[in-house]
Structure formats: structure tokens, C-alpha cells
Amino acid sequence: MLGTFVALDQLAAQFVEPFLIGHGIGVSPVALLFSAMYWTWLWGIPGLLLATPLTACLKVAGDYIPELGFLAVLLGVDQHSEDYHEYYRILLELDQAGARSLAVRYCDEHGLEATFDDIIRPTLIFMGEERSEDHISQENENYIIDTTREIIAELGNRLSKPHMTPRLRILGVCAPGEGHSLGLLMLLELLRQEGAAASFVGDDKSVEEVRGFARRFTPDVVCLSCTVTDYLAAGVELIQELKKDSPQLMIIAGGEAATAEPSKLLMAGCSQICWSKNEARRVIRSLGSRRARFRVVGTTVPVAKS
């Protein structure tokens, strides 16, 4: 009887508990088994009793101390996690194919919008924090931005479907001089999936270049992104020039700078300030519905002012 009890106790301690407890504390069961053997060899019974807490402490140290990050890899549970931390880690390793594969797989399982909300956007926020604290270099930041821009476009192209015309024509622009366009690109891809003909004018365009593109594209809506306060004045000038060319043009604006000082953009002729991409999509959907109704009676869709 005593032998059976000892055997069952050791079976539970050495094989069952590592698999049950190990996942709970984020430690690999295999790591726990090797840890138990090592500490038992080193300290005997006290080492066996301390093996699990010591291993857990080392794992936590690896999670939060960059110099000990290798411990998190060696001791951690391989969960094949596909969240923005994994996407960010892959990009830091300069593995463009791996980042693309993760994003495509997540998009196939959860959809385009969820991929933007759960993977891309949190990665960009985290990247900004890491860069501000000088944890990553300017080259790392540029690589993440450039790779993510390509992935955003590829995800949208994979899901593109033929649409009936006519469609709402939407032009995405950034305030002249500003380079923060990834949020706008994600919005444009979502609008394309909803049936709009959306186009991005490009980065680092002057007011005149944007005006020329708008004359050729003849958009129904212009989506202006302005996230940096230093470029707010340029955004105001752009709105004024676009309204000179097309007084009835609907212009909606978003971004941190736009929402921080909405009155300047509204006075320049902006139709509405949107605090989120979902709000912008609702405004554009509403315009599309009104346009469809007015097309039936052959009148012009009025532009709503905020």
C-alpha cells in the first residue's frame, strides 16, 4: 500500500502537475521536468520542493528583464500565440515573410478588421512607445512601418471582390509633410471591402500635388489624416484649397491633432471630424445611402456639416 501511494504521488508530481501547473504559470512542462531533475540533483529533497517556484521566478525574470529574455524563450510555453507581441517580435527579427504569414493567417481566421484592431494597430502603438524610450532604433521603426504598409495593402488585395459601379470614390490624404499614414491606409482598405473605390494619394505630397490628384480622381469624399500638431496648419491649408476647387466636396478628418483642435479644420471647410475609424465608416456609409436615394430622383446629395 505504501509503495503504491509513493508511486502515485511521484507520478502526479513529476508528470501530471507539470502539465497542469506549467501552462498556468506560463512555463513549459518539459522545462519543469528538467528543472526538477536539476534542482533535485543539486540540493536533494529541498531542491525538488523548490524546483517549480524557482523555475517560475526565472521565467518571470525573463519576461520583464531584457537581458534575461533568453530565459523566457527557454522556459516558456510554446503557445503559437498570434497576437501583436508575436507579430512585433517577428518584425524585430527582420522576418518579413513570417510577419506576413502571421497576418494572413490571422486575417483568414478572424477577418480584416480584427487583424487591423488586434495585430496591426497595437503593434504600431507599442512600436511608438518602444521608440520613444529608445528601446529600438530608427532603422527598426522604419522597417516595421514599411513592412506593415505592404502587409496592409496585401491583406486588402487578397479580400478584394468585383463591385458594381457606380461606387463612392474616396481619396485618402495626409496633412502635407506628415508621414503617419498607416491608420489611414487601414481605413481605406476597410472601405474598399465595403464597396468603395478608395485611393491613397501617397506620402509626402505637397498641397499642389494633392489638388492635382483630386482633380483627376474626382472623389466624393476626402479622408484627411492629421496626427501631428506641427502639420495641422498644413492640413487647414489643404482643406481650403480643395474646397476652392470643389465647394461641394465632403472632407472628413481624423487623427490626434485633428481631434485635439477640430475647430480649425471645421472653419477651413472640413465637413466632419471623426474620432475613430468606425465613426468615419458610419459617416461614409450614410453618405452612400443618401447618394443612392437621391440618385433615384436625380438630385444632388447635400453635404452635411458637423
Tell which CATH classification among 3.40.50.280, 3.30.420.240, 1.10.1380.10, 3.10.20.90 matches the domain 162-297. Answer: 3.40.50.280
pLDDT tier, 3 (very low <50, low <70, confident <90, very high otherwise): low
pLDDT digits (tens, 9 = 90+) for 4-63: 544 545 555 544 454 444 445 567 777 777 888 888 888 888 887 788 788 888 877 776
Model pLDDT, residue 31: 75
pLDDT one-digit tens code per residue, 238-295 = 999 999 999 999 999 999 999 999 999 999 999 999 998 889 999 888 887 776 565 5
- Whole-number pLDDT of residue 163: 54
Domain segments of the chain as ranges: 14-75, 84-156, 162-297
Fold assignment, 84-156: 1.10.1240
What does the block give as the cell for 11?
Answer: 507520478
With a pLDDT cut of 70, the percent of the chain lying above it is 77
pLDDT greater than 80 at residue 161 = no
According to the model, what pLDDT value does residue 293 have?
60
**pLDDT classification of 152: cutoffs 50, 70, 90:** very high
* Ranges 55-64, 70-79, 133-142, 283-292: which has the least confidence: 70-79
